[in-house]
Chains A and B, each alone.
Chain A
């Protein structure tokens, strides 16, 4: 089977700091791939290189076997790659509905949409509400409230709901459960399974080992700017994964090739 998203020899340097050091990456169709690694291992840079937010200095990225050259996150979104960033990327003063549809607003049908370019607020609000309900974010009272009035967890929920609603090829989730409560985390994990059952592969970056081992099909262990190994969560313990990513233990030779 050919990988849907493939990175080869990715390099990114920030001045004298090397964030990615000839890193390889593969995402298979329909799988959930977890990316784990210590702080500063270069996970976020890897994800940004795949989602267009960072342009790698060297190396190639292929989507569906075709080489791609993203110059901005907009390019990646148009190609069907949707990302939830750790910073969440939301405009605090704008409403939840405005944020969810930022950059792909719905216009009213007929002349009001085409000539006056008027936004269809009612439809956007209904859709936003549905997506939030799917995620179980019942504590959000008003879909028109500004994002700055939400708690951190609620904001994260909105960001995840946005990605899940619009991702068509690949969804990238950077620490999606970090700020969420028990119930909301569970819903996010269910949502991840749900998205997977729709056939859309997911890249999940997380420090939460129980969550990673619960949902991931494969685990990409990132260390010192490159892929150390890929492990199968069914055949490894959480302690193995932690040992590999912190450098306490070296993976066996055949695993680093896998």
Chain B
């Protein structure tokens, strides 16, 4: 009788180079699916380019001018900034319904601290930013330490922060003329500069920089990888040595801070400090994230996709308005886009199963 292990002796002759396969002829669809799987932000980029080309063809130079195209950037700046914050949270398989409320409260704090207490505008802005980060910290702490579902936590915080905003501001608006006379620093993100026919604001510049920085951080730092790992499988991330509580709290705090920056940009955009502004930021930011191809289940997608998603909404809004269509057509088409984006996401996923 042979030894029990002798069947393993046959292994010795096996080759020890890394396996390679002839991929054979791949159809165009297969290669496209693979490319989309590897680079998830490609889908919204293609949709964005197609929609720009379509509206350009329909409207000609009215749409294809540097002025109109940069106007889109100005119009999406706030949503783009908030959606970047939303992307971080959704990548961790959470959701932040309080982004709009945090943004408004932060802008109110910036305005009221400057005008009611006479702080220097820069200090007022700093207080507003801290207020946003603090709201984010509360969200993060409740989600990470108390293990409450993000949807519930941020739904509650949305109401709490919004009510706090109305109570604190006494529903009082600080007018644009006052701000530009006494504290123009609050409107910093609204200041414009021109390059040729293109008009940019510092808010637009901030949005683009923010997206690039976040894209770098998520892709090339350990923290960024941990954000994906937590969204992908929180328990696995924890067992393999990620401090998931710390990652979650930092994500929600950063989200709050970015929303506060959006609040600052909001003052620049509308000129005044109004506690009733920015009510749609929640739903618009989630729309941009979904159209941008980030999975609501976490762990997949990129912040560049969100940026393209926000731009797609901007292109549709301006393009349809220039065409003279009813504004409801915009909402209808965006609704179609949301469903289409998720359908495409599911199709791309198939390669991974």
Main secondary structure of the interface of A (DSSP, over half): loop
Q: Which size class do B's interface residues fall under?
A: 35 or more
CB of A16 within 8 A of chain B? Answer: no
Known: A117-B222, A146-B352. A89 touches B240 (CB 8 A): yes
Binding site for B on A (CB under 8 A): 53, 72-74, 77, 83, 85, 87-94, 98-99, 102-105, 107, 116-119, 133, 136, 138-141, 146, 148-149, 162, 182-183, 186, 210, 214
State whether A138 touches B15 (Cβ < 8 A): yes
State whether A74 touches B352 (Cβ < 8 A): no
Known: A77-B241, A117-B222. A141 touches B18 (CB 8 A): yes
CB of B22 within 8 A of chain A? Answer: no
Bound Cα distance A141, B20 (Å): 6
Known: A73-B241, A103-B241, A186-B8. A91 touches B236 (CB 8 A): yes
Known: A89-B240, A140-B18. A94 touches B232 (CB 8 A): yes
Query: Which B201-257 residues have C-beta < 8 A from chain A?
Result: 216, 220-223, 225-226, 228-229, 232-233, 235-243
| A-B pairs with beta carbons under 8 Å apart, 9 shown | A87-B239, A90-B240, A94-B225, A117-B221, A117-B223, A133-B18, A138-B19, A139-B19, A183-B14
Of the candidates A73, A117, A186, the one whose C-beta lies within 8 Å of that of B239 is: A73
State whether B238 touches A72 (Cβ < 8 A): yes
Residues of B within 8 A of A91 (CB): 228-229, 232-233, 236-237, 240, 299
State whether A73 touches B238 (Cβ < 8 A): yes
Known: A94-B232, A102-B241, A141-B20. A119 touches B15 (CB 8 A): no
Query: Which B10-25 residues have C-beta < 8 A from chain A?
Result: 11, 14-21
State whether A90 touches B236 (Cβ < 8 A): yes
Minimum CB distance partner of A185 in chain B: B8
Bound Cα distance A6, B110 (Å): 58
CB distance from A189 to the nearest CB of B (A): 9
CB distance from B93 to the nearest CB of A (A): 11
Of the candidates B4, B5, B232, B242, the one whose C-beta lies within 8 Å of that of A93 is: B232
Which 4 A-B pairs rank lowest in CB-CB distance, beginning with the nearest? A103-B241, A89-B239, A105-B222, A91-B232
Bound Cα distance A136, B11 (Å): 11
Residues of A within 8 A of B352 (CB): 92-93, 146, 148-149
Bound Cα distance A116, B217 (Å): 9
Residues of A within 8 A of B7 (CB): 182
Residues of A within 8 A of B221 (CB): 116-119
Known: A91-B229, A119-B222, A183-B11. A103 touches B240 (CB 8 A): yes
CB distance from B297 to the nearest CB of A (A): 10
Minimum CB distance partner of A148 in chain B: B352
State whether B239 touches A119 (Cβ < 8 A): no
CB of B269 within 8 A of chain A? Answer: no
Bound Cα distance A59, B102 (Å): 47
Bound Cα distance A146, B240 (Å): 16
Residues of B within 8 A of A98 (CB): 225, 229
CB distance from A53 to the nearest CB of B (A): 6
Residues of A within 8 A of B222 (CB): 105, 107, 117, 119
State whether B242 touches A102 (Cβ < 8 A): yes
Minimum CB distance partner of A120 in chain B: B220
Residues of A within 8 A of B225 (CB): 94, 98, 102, 105, 119
CB distance from A36 to the nearest CB of B (A): 18
Minimum CB distance partner of B11 in chain A: A183
Minimum CB distance partner of B239 in chain A: A89
State whether A94 touches B241 (Cβ < 8 A): no
Query: Which B282-312 residues have C-beta < 8 A from chain A?
Result: 299-300
Minimum CB distance partner of B8 in chain A: A186
Minimum CB distance partner of A129 in chain B: B18
Of the candidates A83, A85, A92, A138, the one whose C-beta lies within 8 Å of that of B16 is: A138
CB distance from B148 to the nearest CB of A (A): 20
Minimum CB distance partner of B228 in chain A: A94
User: Scoring B residues 164 to 181 as 1 if CB is less than 8 Å from chain A, else 0, what string do you get?
Assistant: 000000000000000000
Bound Cα distance A107, B352 (Å): 29
Residues of B within 8 A of A105 (CB): 222, 225
Residues of A within 8 A of B226 (CB): 102-103
Bound Cα distance A77, B238 (Å): 11
State whether A214 touches B239 (Cβ < 8 A): no
Bound Cα distance A117, B5 (Å): 49
State whether A92 touches B239 (Cβ < 8 A): no
Residues of A within 8 A of B236 (CB): 87-91
Bound Cα distance A85, B235 (Å): 11
Bound Cα distance A149, B241 (Å): 22
Residues of B within 8 A of A87 (CB): 235-236, 239
State whether B11 touches A93 (Cβ < 8 A): no
Bound Cα distance A138, B15 (Å): 9
CB distance from B2 to the nearest CB of A (A): 14
